[in-house]
Chains A and B, each alone.
Chain A
Amino acid sequence: MSHVRRRGLQAGALLSTAAVLSLTAGPALAADTVSQASATALRVTVASTPTDSGSYTATNDGTKETTTGTNSPAVTALGGQSFVQAGTLAQDATATVRNKSGHSAACAGLAGDGATAVAAGDGACLTPGQNLQLDAAHVDLSNLQIVQSDLLMGLDQQLQNALAPVIGPLTDALNQALTTALSSADLGVFLDLGAVQSQCTAGPGTASGDAQIVDASAYAQFQGTRIDLVSLPVHPAPNTKVVTGLGDVTQAILDALNSEFTTAIDGQLGALGGAIDQAAVLAAALQQVSDQLGPLEDNVLDITLNKQSRASKDQITVTALDLSVLPVASGFGVDLLGAQIGESACGPSGRVTVATPTPTPTATPTTVPTSVPAGLESADDASGGLGTGGSAALIGLLALSAGAGVASYRRAMNRT
């Protein structure tokens, strides 16, 4: 029993030793990644549903580079979104080893048709072609309306009294004018860009990244008219914030309503002659529309250019353009949108580990025992039992028996 337990303990000790040795040797045997990079040209999230161009990754274990994903993604692969319908995507990454040190590079971006993609490691990976329009948001204006009570609140008491007999028909005429003016209105928010791209490099203890925004701007389009909102800098500093609203668009909408409202007011109040200040009524109507458009005048688009984050000094992620449509626009039927254009990630980096050569022993060291399992429950637990002397005696007896057998055989042969 004790013998079995002792053997079990020894086997356990051996297994434990083997496990420890394998764990110790594991890192040396398993190839560690010494350099790595990845690139994602475009990621779009519409109403919480993401889609992207896929990521192209490169890793190097010190002996070879391994890549996954595609470095020639197609725009058509991004389904379920209307943000981008054409253009050229670029994403590339490389992971190399130089002087036993890991180095990596990546670039990613988006440009219009006709752009040329260049391999990572050469800086920018896109040369612009035609400009590209990205559809960031469409604003639904059908909910705008003139409310009778609100309209009267914007006028003095004398005017309110004068309008009392016709306030109902006037409100209806203004709402009709609103519908007429905006029923066919198409208010969209777009990005116009030549190329947006980022790139990064990383090596032992260092990582850097940058972004280029070529010929890019945000604009709105209302009734076929382009209204520039903001121009984006070509070489933005890291984490450059750009926010913009639709104040200029609001004014365009009011301008469009001005004539329609004037016509409607004249139609309802013209018979009253100079007894009613029609200009005041027009102003009150426009103000009511302006108030409703107020949220769009503030920040609607939140853009971060050359967005950089570092997990360590030798690791960086750069996003050339990070766009989100703020929730305030959701009241106008705008699908909340998030888009990251040109995301490059590099690092971390390591060094190729060279297996430590086994030193040639100069002398065989004496391994001191740390365990002497010299106890047994019974002699049956031992594999022996006869003793060395007993074994020798047994061998002697066997030899004697064999000799006697031979002698008997010879006597028998002699008798014959």
Chain B
Amino acid sequence: MTQARVDRALTGLHRRLSALGTMLLVLSGGLVVGGVVIPADPGPPQPAYGSLSPSDPVRLEVPRLKVRAPIVPIQVTNAVLDPPADVLDVGWWAASAKPGSGEGSTVIAGHTVHTGGGSLDDLPEVKRNDVIDVVTERGTMRYAVMRRKIYDKEALAREAAGVFGQDHGNGRLVLISCTDWDGAAYESNVVVYAAPLGKVRGSGDSHDGRTRGDSVRAAS
């Protein structure tokens, strides 16, 4: 008798749970269907980019080229801007504008290595409107490629004020490397000018390009 009561009670509980489960399943399906048919109000649109307080750059990312290169500050010595000795790094001319600045140009130089392995080996391959990110400790500054220009060495020296001058530029990014291998040396510089789009939203976390082990080109 007692065993029969217990069996009945369990059977009743099972039926109730099954009914509840079926009901929840039906409710979920209804909500899904309702959500598709009657989408919820997305609210006011958010701007794609924000403003970035000028900050020292720590990493360069060029998605088309699959470049993620740490940035180290470099200086001009005797009118020569020498990229970092480590060909995997790129150098930010520390006297140029910081990313996020509305004035001047952020100048970043990186090596092109004839046999491969340089941080900016493929810089001539960037296209107009390609995205370039410069990561800082305060966020990521995004740029859009506007144009690419080849200067022979004499032309670069002649037009240096226009290329690197800090009295103009409106916060643009200037990427520079070498091109025109003549069998013994590079004869020209390739310069990519990119206009600032702004800070990538949600990129305000601290980034440290030196400790994430991403000092290699993703493609290599």
Contacts and interface: CB of A to CB of B under 8 A. Distances in A.
Contacts of A116: none
Interface string A358-381: 000000001111111111111100
Interface string B84-96: 1111110001010
B114 A13 contact: no
A392 interface: yes
B153 A375 contact: no
Contact of A388 (B88, B115, B120): B88
Nearest to A386: B86
Contact of A384 (B78, B89, B176, B213): B89
A168 interface: no
B86 A382 contact: yes
B123 to A, nearest CB: 9
B166 to A, nearest CB: 6
Nearest to A383: B85
Given A14-B78, A369-B79, A388-B86, A375 B209 contact: no
A375 B152 CA distance: 13
B189 interface: yes
A411 interface: no
Interface string A217-246: 000000000000000000000000000000
Interface stretch (B2-10, B125-133, B135-143, B157-165): B157-165
Contact of A382 (B87, B95, B164, B184): B87
Interface residues of B, number: 53
Most buried by B among A375, A376, A388: A375
Interface in A10-44: 10, 13-14, 17
A368 B164 contact: yes
Interface stretch (B12-20, B29-37, B45-53, B104-112): B104-112
A5 interface: yes
A375 B177 contact: yes
Contacts of A370: 79-80, 156-157, 160
B81 interface: yes
B100 interface: no
Contacts, number: 150
A378 B113 contact: yes
A2 interface: yes
Contacts of A1: 184
A374 B79 contact: no
Contacts of B214: 389
Contact of B85 (A2, A378, A382, A390): A382
B111 A374 contact: yes
A348 to B, nearest CB: 39
B159 to A, nearest CB: 9
A389 B177 contact: no
B86 A378 contact: no
B176 A372 contact: yes
A374 B177 contact: yes
Interface of A: 1-2, 5-6, 10, 13-14, 17, 366-379, 382-393
List the 8 closest A-B pairs by CB distance, nearest first. A389-B215, A384-B86, A375-B178, A375-B186, A387-B215, A387-B88, A369-B81, A370-B157
Given A372-B82, A374-B112, 19 more contacts: A6-B185, A367-B95, A369-B160, A370-B79, A371-B79, A374-B83, A374-B111, A375-B178, A375-B185, A383-B86, A384-B88, A385-B87, A386-B88, A387-B86, A388-B72, A388-B215, A389-B216, A390-B88, A390-B216
21 contacts: A367-B95, A368-B161, A369-B76, A369-B79, A369-B80, A369-B81, A370-B80, A371-B153, A372-B80, A372-B109, A373-B82, A373-B83, A375-B114, A376-B118, A379-B118, A382-B111, A382-B113, A383-B86, A388-B210, A388-B215, A392-B211
